Copies of this chain bind each other. A is one copy, B any other.
């Protein structure tokens, strides 16, 4: 029941290219126009409208596609063993995703209902929170700050680093290393 009426192969290809272009452009500029996205996808504007009647439909599709990719990537990360090492691995894998999804998320928040965004975006945060919880119970992560704040703080550090890279403000070689080192400090119990 996935396709009501069967879809032709060329339509599938068009949709894939449109979504890909939308991810790319919306990832850089939340206000990217339908025009530009269609042009970047190499299809006419009307073709795009044929598949995504409203702008919100396209934004949602792009976000869902990105997050599905993210889920696939993150679910492959080995979260067993020392929570600190597991966190490093998780952050390393999150790195590439964050660079794209931060701006895309902003686009989504302008167009989609808050509930819908939360629903789509909840999984990654939950995974991180779960890991932090385990680290806390094993005594290697701090417990003196609320878990919600810790998750948010990690998120903002990651997002900030992604922004630094995107704008090229920081001429730094190993930005991922800085993030992992910083997050580790952030989560380590204070002396």
Contacts and interface: CB of A to CB of B under 8 A. Distances in A.
Contacts of A191: 188, 191
Interface string A149-191: 1001101110111011000011010010010011011101011
Q: Kindly report how many copies of this chain are found in the complex they form together.
A: 2
Interface in A80-131: none
A144 B188 contact: no
A35 B186 CA distance: 44
Interface residues of A, number: 29
Nearest to A171: B148
A91 B181 CA distance: 22
A155 B145 contact: no
Nearest to A150: B182
Contacts of A156: 156-157, 159-161, 163
Given A144-B181, A157-B157, A185-B185, A170 B152 contact: yes
A170 B148 contact: yes
Which 8 pairs show the lowest CB-CB distances between chains A and B?
A: A156-B160, A149-B178, A156-B156, A185-B185, A148-B170, A185-B186, A153-B182, A145-B178
Interface of A: 142, 144-146, 148-149, 152-153, 155-157, 159-161, 163-164, 169-170, 172, 175, 178, 181-182, 184-186, 188, 190-191
